[in-house]
Amino acid sequence: MKGYAGKLLRVNLSTGTVADEPLPLPVVKDFIGGLGFGIKYLYDELAPHVDPLGEHNKLMLVPGVLAGTQAQGVARWLAITKSPLTGLFARSCCGGDFGAWVKFAGYDFIIIEGKAEKPVYLYISADGIQLKDAAELWGKDTAYTQDWLSRQHGSDVRTACIGPAGERLVKYAAIVSGRRTASRCGVGTVMGSKLLKAVTIKARRNLNLHDPEGYGRLVKEQIEIMRASNEYHKNRKYGTTDGAITRNVIGVYPVRNYRYGELEGYQKLSPEAYKKLEVGDFGCYSCSIRCGKIHVVPEGPYAGARSEGPEYESYWAFTGPIDSNNIESTIAADQLCDDLGLDSISTGNTIGFAYELYEKGIITKDDTDGLELTYGNHAAMISLIEKIGRREGFGDILAEGTLRAAKQIGKGAEAYAMQTKGLELAGYEPRGLKGTGFGYATNTMGGAHTNGTVMFQEWGMPVPRAVDRFAEEDKADILIFNQHNDSGLEVGIVCFFAFMCGDWYQRLFSKMLQTATGIKEFADRGYLNKVAERIWNLERAFGVREGFDRTHDILPRRFQTEPLHTIEAEGEGQVLRKLDQFLDEYYQLRGWTKTGIPSREKLQELSLGYVVKDIEPFLIRK
């Protein structure tokens, strides 16, 4: 099997055994790689209602099919599991080198199951695969852990690990590799529940492509297309640090727990301001964009803080929710989240929730360990991050995420939990980007900003057609287009920032898949779209089997009852009113029932007939 290792590694932590398993060709053809492999194996191997933090959940570390090749921006990898935050399928994407190293080690992906008796780490090298004692590392942050493993096994290893947050089962703990994170949905929490501190790989670069010369020509073309685009040079120069300006100008930068769409004084978070603090950059394996900008705070209360980032989502999370435009605290908060192994989006969103509860008097200093959660108080935010990551004091409640924390706090706090299906929403205001709001509502893993929103069309990119960002009608087809597009990207796994650099993906990606693997069907873009639709439906079926349906495709009431406020940007007074109407159209176009269940016919059309028996009870009941 060219382009693939042709096998996966299965690690059972309960028995301490490891085994190679062949990757069946029909799975390769039906799911291609990356996200496809992850959801296929997770669906098939997990019984419904498995405890996400129990022995029977599984964690998969899955690179894309092109990881480790010389193509640009295709080396990302996914952590896939059942989420302890949502109870749904979870997929969290990470950059860096680790995905390429999985391939170099001779595996298409790794499945981790069971639970160790004591903390361990997995070490993979040409000399064998070992589960090793991690007692020295338990309790240590992710920077120390990776340094220690590099000292132990050589600087050429690559590691994915958890920090104190994962060990303490913070519900939104991340897996960290280098300074990149697979952060959403609590994938690090699952790793912590298994007492697995790290996976470290030592491997030599090697791949076995079907047509290396042809592939090399396609990569050359890819690089030319990317370098001719403005996006490439913008990302290379600034990374994502232009986000505060571009989002605030149009009033979609959520502020004060999604009450406002514009941050006062957002100009202080400009790309030029971040540039002044930049000391270097970082690129994922074989990516010349090098969008990771390393920042250091030179002076003041956060002097010495250093982070590779923050990326847009992170610095939004450390500013908008608490109404602060302090740039230095975003760098300190980012470093802290990476060290502790926390998802910055859920962390910032949950802290913003706490600030609103404090403002409304639902909680007081007696509840917050004496911290004053007043807007603009970034020092209190930093304290809360530390408390959450270590589950100390009030942090122990916030470590549960907004939905569970609200239930614990009571007094109507649930109304202020800005989440969908238990996953905290990201830095995009749905009343100013209404199709993106519908994306939050229908996302198979909860309120995520990746895997299908309409934000780029709503910002004015007319591909495949232009849309009015305030309109609520006629957006179902475009959302489905994007959901499938994003699933297609993640078989690669293509980085979204690289995807945005010219039209190489549309022109070359299918050819790259075919040239790398020799599987002729992959050259057809229609085939890739079908695989993407299969993936989306299987993700949905996973949720249905867990009891999710239309009643869960919702948004926080705030967006449907309270008008958006801006300062100067367009969008003042916007409310999102037609979610129900949208869902009718969306389900119909998808071939699902009115209650949001994939129909028998649709599943059979997608060669997912074997799933019908699992969701039959839900089809009958509804």
- The footprint of ligand SF4 (CB under 6 A) covers 73, 95, 235, 283-284, 287, 289-292, 495, 497-498
SS3 of residue 89 by DSSP: strand
Q: Find where tokens 């600030």 sit.
A: 355
Enter the tokens of residue 51: 């405890």
Q: How far is the CB of 525 from ligand SF4 (least distance, A)?
A: 22
Q: How far is the CB of 499 from ligand SF4 (least distance, A)?
A: 9
Q: What is the DSSP string of 29-61?
A: HHH-STHHHHHHHHHHHPPTT--TTSTT-EEEE
CB of 288 to ligand SF4, least distance (A): 8
Q: How far is the CB of 369 from ligand SF4 (least distance, A)?
A: 36
Nearer to ligand SF4, 78 or 134 (CB): 78
Q: What is the CA radius of gyration of the chain?
A: 23
In this complex, which beta carbon is closest to ligand SF4, that of residue 309 or of residue 556? Answer: 309
Under DSSP, the state recorded for 256 is: T
10 Å CB burial of residue 590 (0-12, 13-18, 19+) is: buried
Choose between 73 and 186: whose C-beta lies nearer to ligand SF4: 73
User: The tokens of 27 are what?
Assistant: 């799975």
Nearest distance from residue 107's CB to ligand SF4, in Å?
Answer: 21
**Residue closer to ligand SF4 (CB basis): 209 or 287:** 287
Nearer to ligand SF4, 238 or 527 (CB): 238
Task: Give residue for tokens 């609103």.
Answer: 356
Q: Least distance in Å: CB of 38 to ligand SF4?
A: 19
Residue 271 or 321 having the CB closest to ligand SF4: 271
Q: DSSP string covering 574-599, please? A: -----HHHHHHHHHHHHTB-TTS-B-
Q: Which two tokens stand for residue 522?
A: 């992959």
**Is 40 or 290 the residue whose CB approaches ligand SF4 more closely?**
290
Considering the complex, state which of residue 119 and residue 492 has its C-beta at the smaller distance from ligand SF4: 492
CB closer to ligand SF4 out of 180 and 550: 180
Q: Which residue, 281 or 396, has its beta carbon nearer to ligand SF4?
A: 281
- Classify strands 7-12 and 109-113 as parallel, antiparallel or unpaired: parallel
d(CA 241, CA 278): 11
CB 236 within 8 A of CB 291: yes
Minimal distance in Å, beta carbon 293 to ligand SF4? 10
- DSSP secondary structure letters along 517-573: H--GGGG-HHHHHHHHHHHHHHHHHHHHHTT--GGGS---THHHHS--B-SSSTTTT
User: CB of 504: closest distance to ligand SF4 in angstroms?
Assistant: 13
* Beta pairing, strands 196-201 & 158-161: antiparallel
Whole-number minimum distance, CB 284 to ligand SF4, in Å? 3
Distance of CA 495 to the CA centre of its chain: 12
d(CA 325, CA 244): 10
Q: Torsion-angle region of residue 498: left (phi > 0), alpha (psi -120 to 50) or beta? A: alpha
Q: Which is nearer to ligand SF4, 168 or 180 (CB)?
A: 180
Own/partner contacts of 523-529, CB < 8 Å, gap of 24 or more, are 528/32, 528/488, 528/491, 529/484, 529/488
The secondary structure of 320-354 as a DSSP string is GGGT---HHHHHHHHHHHHHHTB-HHHHHHHHHHH
The residue (of 95 and 271) whose beta carbon lies closer to ligand SF4 is: 95
**Whole-angstrom distance, CA of residue 395 vs CA of residue 371:** 11
Question: CB of residue 236 vs ligand SF4: minimum separation in angstroms?
Answer: 9
Choose between 219 and 287: whose C-beta lies nearer to ligand SF4: 287
Q: Which of 426, 179, 430, 175 is nearest to 312 (CA)?
A: 426
Q: State in angstroms the smallest separation of the CB of 523 from ligand SF4.
A: 24
Rounded Cα distance, 595 and 139, in Å = 45
Q: CB nearer to ligand SF4: give 61 or 120.
A: 61
Nearer to ligand SF4, 74 or 203 (CB): 74
- Minimum Å distance from CB 464 to ligand SF4? 23
Lookup result for tokens 């997912």? 608
Report the SS3 class of residue 603.
helix
Least separation in angstroms between CB 282 and ligand SF4: 7
CB of 233 to ligand SF4, least distance (A): 12
Which tokens is 377 given?
A: 């108080």
Q: Which is nearer to ligand SF4, 68 or 283 (CB)?
A: 283
Q: Given its phi and psi angles, is residue 404 left (phi above 0), alpha (psi -120 to 50 degrees) or beta?
A: alpha
- Cβ at position 289, least distance to ligand SF4 in Å: 4
Q: What is the dihedral of CA 327, 330, 336, 339, to 10 degrees?
A: -100
To the nearest whole angstrom, how small is the minimum distance from the Cβ of residue 313 to ligand SF4? 12
- Contact assessment for residue 39 and residue 89, using Cβ atoms and an 8 Å cutoff: yes
